[in-house]
A and B are shown apart, each in its own frame.
Chain A
């Protein structure tokens, strides 16, 4: 089978052009390097872990201190909104730095993004309930928020 000169040109040039276009399109967004994104998201998750712990430590006591729980809930809600930006392509296990992010984040992105959205919604509710001040409601919502962390980790994080 012989290919016309034009076909051959297209076969070689088209992928190259797509790659260049892709790079150009990505560049203006100033996406963080995969390594920087990994460091940033891990720091963010640690912050959220500490906030969750602060809330749950209070809820274990007989008189949970709202002064401790309310800022922690705020931290959760704010940080949850920053995390979705920090999973650029190439920041998976192939990035060359230690990450527990599983490759299925990038093959099943819809599910992953839905989990992100769920955390944003639940942590937002937690802030609202916090302002309400009913301890039982806070307890229920803290558990619901923690449940979204656990659900995503089971699916998209290595070694829990």
Chain B
């Protein structure tokens, strides 16, 4: 069944080729984020705070890298490329509704907004976690000693509320991918794994510089380390 969907969407129109639409750092970001969020959920619920903080620092580093990559990454990773105005988003929805489905070479105007919303929610989630204090005053985020107990408890409440929002966004994200696969016959998961998609148009390969990626990784690591130490370096 998934095979049928895949062949349908991967069947090249005459004269088309495989184009690279997602660079390797974006794909790594995505597939590292997924297990870390799952692990954060598990360790948070179980109150395994040593593990929960470690997992959170991992997510923090990924987010810092992703924001950097939104400016210095491959074409399809850049915010400037996929952040489109409401006009473009409406036009996209209208063309979808009229039955014409054109696969976008990267994020479509609606998908771009969903990416920003998910990233912003994750940033808020991590920020709240950094200041959160549990009810026992025993476990806390690395920046909690900059705030009072009451403020830390508030951060913990916010951390919990945003988590529900995050879950809702993830459900929406998966539902949208399912919709594309089943209704629009477009496989989105494959390209996020191997990076390539058969395209009918003339789509140039996404290119990146390994040096830029290395600089981003160094910045992300340094940020996560400084925050984990509560800036007591």
Nearest chain A CB to B138 CB, angstrom units: 4
Which chain B residues (200-224) contact chain A, with CB distance < 8 Å? none
Contact with B along A2-27 (1 / 0, CB 8 A): 00000000000000000000000000
In the complex, chain A residues 134-154 whose Cβ is within 8 Å of any chain B Cβ = 143, 146-147, 149-150, 153
Q: Which of B47, B135, B145 contacts A49 (CB 8 A)?
A: B135
Check A50 against B136 for contact (C-beta < 8 Å).
no
- CB neighbours (8 Å) of B136 from chain A are 49, 52, 146, 149-150, 153
Q: Mark B136-150, 1 if CB is under 8 A from A, else 0.
A: 111010001100111
Evaluate whether A50 and B230 lie within 8 angstroms (CB atoms) in the complex, with A56-B137, A160-B135 already known. no
The reply to whether B232 and A53 form a contact with Cβ atoms under 8 Å apart is no
How many A-B pairs have beta carbons closer than 8 Å: the answer is: 52
Do A46 and B140 have beta carbons less than 8 Å apart?
Answer: no
Q: Which of A46, A56, A62, A157 contacts B138 (CB 8 A)?
A: A56
B97 nearest CB across to chain A (Å):
43
A55 vs B149: C-alpha distance in the bound complex, in angstroms?
Answer: 12
Closest to A149 in B: B136
Interface string of A41-59 (1 = CB under 8 A from B): 0000010111111011100
Interface size on B, residues (CB 8 A): 17
- Interface size of A by Cβ–Cβ distance < 8 Å? 21
Shortest beta-carbon distance from A122 to chain B in Å: 12
Q: Is A60 in contact with chain B by the CB < 8 A criterion?
A: yes
Task: Report the bound CA distance from A60 to B144 in whole Å.
Answer: 11
A57-B145, A146-B138, A149-B138 known; A49-B153 Cβ under 8 A: yes
Instruction: Flag whether B195 is at the interface (Cβ < 8 A).
Output: no
Q: Is the CB of B140 within 8 A of A49?
A: no
Smallest CB–CB gap between B139 and chain A, Å? Answer: 8
Instruction: A55 to B138: give the CA distance in the assembly, Å.
Output: 9
Name the B residues within 8 Å of A157 (CB-CB): 135
Find the residue from A49, A53, A56, A61 having the highest chain B CB count within 10 A: A53
- Specify the chain A residue showing the minimal Cβ separation from B138: A146
Interface contacts beyond A48-B137, A50-B137, A50-B150: sample of 20 additional A-B pairs, CB < 8 Å, sorted by A? A46-B150, A49-B133, A49-B135, A49-B149, A50-B149, A51-B137, A52-B136, A52-B137, A53-B133, A53-B137, A53-B149, A55-B137, A57-B140, A61-B232, A143-B138, A146-B136, A147-B138, A149-B136, A150-B47, A150-B136
Question: Taking beta carbons and an 8 Å cutoff, which residues of B are in contact with A?
Answer: 47, 133-138, 140, 144-145, 148-150, 152-153, 230, 232
Q: Which A residues fall within an 8 A CB radius of B?
A: 46, 48-53, 55-57, 60-62, 143, 146-147, 149-150, 153, 157, 160
